[in-house]
Structure 1
Amino acid sequence: MKSIESEEKVPEELIRGISILFFQENVFLLDVKLEKNNAVSDTSAEITILGPQSGFSESLPTNIGLIRTALSRGNIND
Structure 2
Amino acid sequence: MSGLDESDRPVDRFDSARRTVLQHKDGGTCHQCVDGGCGQQAWAIEELAQHPGGLLLLQQLQLLNPSNHPIQEGQPR
TM-score (norm 1): 0.27
Pick the structure with more strand per residue.
Answer: 1
The structure number with the bigger radius of gyration is 1
Pick the structure with more helix per residue.
Answer: 2
TM-score (norm 2): 0.27
